Amino acid sequence: MSVFMDLNLTFSADKSNMQQLIDMAAHLGFSTVAVNYTFEPTSKKKQAIPTPKPIDELIGQLPIVQGRSRPIRVLNRLTLVMSELSHFRPNSTEYANFDLLAVQPTTEKVFHAACTQMDVDVISVPMTEKLAFFFKKAPVNMAAERGLAFEVSYAPAIRDATMRRYTIANAISLAQACKGKNVLVSSGAAKPLELRGPYDIINLCSLIGLSDEAAKRSVSCRCRSLLLHAETRTTANGVISTKKCCDSSPGQQEAPSPRYTDQGGAPAAKRLKSQLTD
């Protein structure tokens, strides 16, 4: 049985609305959701990145996923709406508060940098308006090699007819550039009625040219790969190398001794360091 996820539920300060939104996601069969905090920095002054709320403050009780005996898993996600490269702070500790990190580029220069350089998980393409750039194969292929995904959100297409036309046209262009791979389909829902079930989403994906298999991956396997990519991004900050001892006698080889170089102090790296030094 496939595990379905929706990695883009719009954050709301209304606790009742968030409870209903997550309840609906669990009722539709989503085992994991991500609450999305959108942040648009400006070059005029330094702004504070929002801090995600704890789950017990966000909603009252985690609902049970339909068809499963376990409660839904709720993650936190940050989406940076960027028009300049300087808006991205690679070493910011505030990013570590979120399980997923996404960027929404509004210029071709930022889009190219996000595909080739930025240490993020998701590239969220603004689908509700005419794009200011085209999807070029070189940066798109580079992003795919780095394990990034391109996001298509369907909720805006439900709200307005004009947004629907732009969303379908932009999504078709993106799917053609990606050849149907590395596409993440999420809701971007702000209300429970904007959510659709996993198999309804798979049917909707036929409008943008995705096969049934690619559409199913976009709400299941691709989501799981992104979560693994996010864990690697936040923990893989150490390097292990081996060095042969120079004091060994001729004809006798000594086993190489591992050497650890700490580059970030991440939890996984610390555990590995303690194992090597014991």
Measured from the Cβ of residue 237, the count of other Cβ atoms closer than 10 Å reads 15
- For residues 25 and 109, state if they share a domain: yes
CATH code: domain of residue 103: 3.20.20.140
pLDDT in tens, 251-263: 444 444 444 344 4
SS3 content of the chain, % helix, strand, coil (to 5): 40, 20, 40
Amino acid occupying residue 167: T
pLDDT in tens, 58-80: 888 899 998 888 999 999 999 99
3-class DSSP state for residue 261?
strand
- For residues 200 and 257, state if they share a domain: no
pLDDT tier, 1 (very low <50, low <70, confident <90, very high otherwise) = low
- For residues 177 and 264, state if they share a domain: no
pLDDT at position 9 = 96
Q: What Rg do the C-alpha atoms of the chain give, in angstroms?
A: 21
pLDDT in tens, 98-115: 999 999 998 899 999 999
- For residues 160 and 197, state if they share a domain: yes
- Boundary (domain end) residue, out of 202, 217, 233: 233
Asked if residues 12 and 22 have their Cβ atoms less than 8 Å apart, the reply is no
pLDDT at position 43 = 64
- For residues 27 and 56, state if they share a domain: yes
- For residues 55 and 180, state if they share a domain: yes
pLDDT tier, 249 (very low <50, low <70, confident <90, very high otherwise) = very low
User: Quick one: what percent of the chain has pLDDT higher than 70?
Assistant: 82
- For residues 244 and 177, state if they share a domain: no
pLDDT at position 129 = 84
Q: What's the rounded Cα separation, in Å, for the pair 128 and 137?
A: 22
- For residues 11 and 25, state if they share a domain: yes
- For residues 247 and 156, state if they share a domain: no
- For residues 271 and 171, state if they share a domain: no
Total H helices, total E strands in the chain: 10, 9
* Stronger pLDDT, 273 or 32, i.e. the higher one: 32
- For residues 143 and 242, state if they share a domain: no
The boundaries of the domain holding residue 62 are: 4-233
Number of structural domains the chain divides into: 2
Q: What's the rounded Cα separation, in Å, for the pair 73 and 32?
A: 5
The DSSP secondary structure of 61-115, one letter per residue, reads SPPBPTTSSSBPEEEEEEEEEESSGGG--TT-GGGGG-SEEEEEE-SHHHHHHHH
Asked if residues 139 and 111 have their Cβ atoms less than 8 Å apart, the reply is yes
For the entire predicted model, the pTM comes to 0.80
pLDDT in tens, 36-60: 999 988 766 677 788 898 888 888 8
- For residues 175 and 258, state if they share a domain: no
